[in-house]
Amino acid sequence: ERPKIRWKGGEESSRTLAMAGEAGGGRPRDWLSMDETAAAFLSRSLSTRPPILLPPPLHRAPLRPGNVVEIAGPSGSGKSQLLLMSAVQCILPKEWEGVYFGGLGKAVMYIDLDCRFDVLRLAQILRKRIAACYGSVHPTNENFVTDGSKDKFHSFESTLFSDCMKRFLYVRCYNSSELVAALKSLKSQSEARSEVFGIGVYFLMLDSIGAFYWIDRALQPTRESKGKTLSFQSITETVVQEIHKFLQLQPILVLVTKAPIYGEGITTSNDFQRGSLKHMSEDSTALRYPKREEERNGSCREYMPSAWQTFVTHRIKLQDLAQEAGFFSEQENEMLSVHTCEWVQPSLNSKEKFYIKDDGVGLIQ
């Protein structure tokens, strides 16, 4: 006879396995049996984390819930515009009263760190999308959609617009402590939104991640109550941890903008001109400095800690071609600035040119 092998614990281990089997409603080793094929597993995975199709020029690489996309570029390159377009894509429904919009019908949390969010621009893009999709299904005279004079369209637009804006959550933070607090409340905010509207947060947007870089660097390192040193690196690590915790509970797509830093203590000419020159008269030639060489070449140094760099899964670099000839849009009837979009991670070895118009972004073929 073969010797009987007994596990350490003898009868106690046998009783434990038997109790586990009874608790599971079957034999103790039922969990080892195959319950789905590879095809079924792939189908289930794709259904729980379906691919997300964003509007151009963010449509080249496949994105899924759980990805962290960093959109980097100088001021005026279109970073915030791409966020607003993606937000509209998320809050619009797939279909509404027989009109196809191709949206996701889910909620967005937009965390504004630069305090430059333009709600009127968001409303403009959303209304233009609603009007364009409605006009493709109900073509009538030319002024039917654009002037909103018909009661039917006005009722349709106002109802859908209000429904979409309810899915847009806006948070403004003035320092890193408020950002960490906002991320800690992300779970409760999503659950509250899910209870009221039946949908949770699907897109998380941060504009922009380096907004408090100089403020946090200027602070003297201090120790918290638990003995942890509070610094720019530790704050960034906390931000990454809070986002990662929520991704484990509820997979979402994270879209983050990042402005470049060309040198310590130097403000880019675009930032200066946007804040000051708009208040000057057109005939004034003072303080109109040319762009720095680093701005024209799009080169900049990485200033985010390694914890953030390893956390990002996709990277996009934008550039403003303001020095080159603009693009004449027949629809807008004016010259528009040209921008470029380049996928750095994953590297697609191609640059796409685009311009910003009233209803979003248009690609230059």
Task: Give the whole-angstrom CA distance, residue 241 versus residue 303.
Answer: 19
Alpha carbon distance 153, 141 (integer Å)? 13
- The DSSP symbol for 287 reads T
Q: Give the rounded percent of residues in the chain with a pLDDT score beyond 90.
A: 41
Domain boundaries, the chain: 66-220+229-261
Per-residue model confidence as pLDDT tens digits over 7-50: 444 555 555 555 555 555 556 666 556 677 777 777 776 666 77
Predicted pLDDT at 149:
53
Identify the residue whose tokens are 């528009």.
336
* 154-183 CB burial, b ≥16 within 10 A, e <16: eebbeebeeebeebbbebebeebeebbebb
Indicate whether 119 pLDDT > 60.
yes
Q: How many CB atoms within 10 Å of residue 89? A: 23
Buried b or exposed e, range 117-149, using 16+ CB within 10 angstroms: beeeebebbbbbbbbebbbeeeeeeeebbeeee
Q: Can you give the pLDDT at residue 266?
A: 43
Average pLDDT, the chain: 78
Q: For the beta carbon of residue 277, count every other beta carbon within 10 angstroms.
A: 14
First to last CA, the chain: 80
What CATH superfamily is the domain 66-220+229-261? P-loop containing nucleotide triphosphate hydrolases (3.40.50.300)
Q: How confident is the model over 68-110, as pLDDT tens digits?
A: 999 999 988 899 999 999 999 999 999 998 899 999 999 999 9
